[in-house]
Chain A
């Protein structure tokens, strides 16, 4: 079976390994490009959110390369994401594409369906359960290792002396992870990657601003969707931390359905635990970032993203109460890189100024 899946950041490295080692052929989804977006926009409903359109475009691209099956995630609502696959299937059928979308609903919702689909993949790939379990475990290690090196790269980048060094080191680290086949090899590649990043020439005297990145999962996780925002900020000399990583996300949302702590934190502002997407998280995380001494927060959201609109309407008071500036970027197909850059630069200037006047103020107190 020729299998593909949505592109999200660097996760395709792990998923490619997974698909191939389950005895299938993998059509690696290309990084979303202008062409992806154009295709997606052309064949999606006008008011679908941007992740929907990007995925639509990706599916059409991999269909062209011969993919027969798409593996993706489902969801229990209340947001649209859990209904994506149904709509994508409808649209693909309308276009006469012979591509089947198989969605994994969170196991907590429907464990039977989850197992049924897993079994189908295993059987059609012709591997044993034992092998299957082994492959899953290694995939998981890969996902975590990928996240580890990426997280570290965002810490290092604002110190780099030569622009682009960090990104180059990261790319090489990811290449190594791509080649790793066993758990110890993955560990080795991960550690080598961290070392590589450590070797980037740095000016350790800098004191970079710290910005937390919150918002809707797809635009946060897919650099091609957010115009490589974290790299952009890093190269402006800002350290970024984002709340969502695939390893964290799948742990919380798919397996334990948890995240209670964040709901508790957000409760004074939004007294409803589940408004879908990452709406509640966005509020809770803004508070957490403020408490951890971050200088500012960037909220990333697809245009017309419902939970993030709800969050946005509430964030001003959070921002006031916790004294942390928040920049909301709504992303749609018209958003250009230059626009994002200008707004980020203005935001960073503002944060710089705040920091300076705060420092003056504290000195006055002394």
Chain B
């Protein structure tokens, strides 16, 4: 039995239920790094190359948080998760592609890295192959892996089901963690806003200074791209001259495009990471598309190491005021 560390950021927000179920079924212990906090951020900033974006720096911090506590760190190299995009070119941001290499270079006394290459566009069976490799590296036998795999798939399905019931991923993860079946009560709201962006920027309350909480408190019901089915999202690809190359960016763009066509959505917020390469395109494109779609109100919030709650709150309040004003004006 090994202790497997999982950094609580990046793909964690999307695939954690699968990973956890798989490792635990194989008889290992899963150790999560602490939720992002000042110390993790500072460590990350110190260890990572200084030109990296904030999410990658934070990932370094999370890895450091696990050093000394675990036998392995699970750091898959995400290359593709499906066949998609023009000429099937969809992949991940280059920083995801080089992630295990960057971590190896940057961090001393690193535990062993579980760094399989995940390239699912190769075929249907690939996911199983990938996790067979993972299991074997951990010393598990084929039979054990064959038993654990479907259980992990099921755990992931359950997670997706929660998301499709308009539960936010970080809330859903919490529910799974505490084995809670009760669907949380919907809070009172008078506005509906779609917040799109990378999962690791949206659901990590530290990075974005509690943006989702602020919205909720202000009487907003939040939708994100992760509540939509792949089918709904991918339908939007048709309205673009060319899909982007990055899985998470495509999801954010498609999500934005979908929501701006929904009549009951009052506005769109895009959360973007400071100095994020792909986002320089995503952000401007969403802005332009929003204008072309009936001038849907659009707010872009950039997060970086200095994002403070006050700043985010002010911008959100101004945005909400504008939305409410617009609505009242239209109703009269």
Please list the residues of chain A having a beta carbon within 8 angstroms of any beta carbon in chain B.
45-49, 52, 74, 76-80, 82-83, 86-87, 89-91, 94, 105, 109-110, 269-272, 274-277, 279, 303-307, 309-310, 312-314, 316-317, 330
Contact = CB atoms under 8 A, between A and B. Distances in A.
Nearest to B85: A77
Interface of B: 48-49, 51-52, 77, 79, 85-87, 89-95, 97-98, 100-102, 105-106, 117, 240-242, 244-246, 274-281, 283-285, 288
A310 to B, nearest CB: 4
A272 B77 contact: yes
A246 B276 CA distance: 28
B285 A272 contact: no
Nearest to B87: A109
B274 to A, nearest CB: 8
Contact of A87 (B89, B97, B101, B281): B281
B94 A276 contact: yes
Question: For A90, A91, A109, which residue has the most chain B Cβ atoms within 10 angstroms?
Answer: A90
A314 B102 contact: yes
> Chain B interface mostly helix, strand, loop or mixed?
mixed
13 contacts: A47-B279, A77-B89, A77-B245, A82-B245, A83-B281, A87-B281, A89-B241, A272-B77, A275-B94, A306-B93, A309-B52, A313-B52, A316-B105
Nearest to A318: B105
B280 A309 contact: no
Contact of A46 (B240, B280, B285): B280
B80 to A, nearest CB: 10
Question: For A94, A274, A309, which residue has the most chain B Cβ atoms within 10 angstroms?
Answer: A309
Nearest to A74: B242
Given A87-B281, A89-B241, A110-B86, A77 B105 contact: no
A283 to B, nearest CB: 9
Nearest to A87: B281
A105 B277 contact: no
B120 to A, nearest CB: 15
Contacts, number: 130
B280 A47 contact: yes
A48 B95 contact: no
B100 A78 contact: no
Contacts of B244: 77, 83
A86 B243 CA distance: 9
Contact of B275 (A47, A74, A272): A47
A45 B281 contact: yes
Contacts of B89: 76-78, 82, 109
A15 to B, nearest CB: 23
B276 A309 contact: no
B271 to A, nearest CB: 14
Contacts of B283: 45
Contacts of B275: 47, 304
Contact of B94 (A76, A78, A269, A317): A78
Nearest to B101: A270
Nearest to A280: B98
Contacts of B274: 47
Given A90-B284, A274-B97, A304 B51 contact: yes
Contacts of B90: 77
Contacts of A272: 77, 79, 97-98, 101, 117
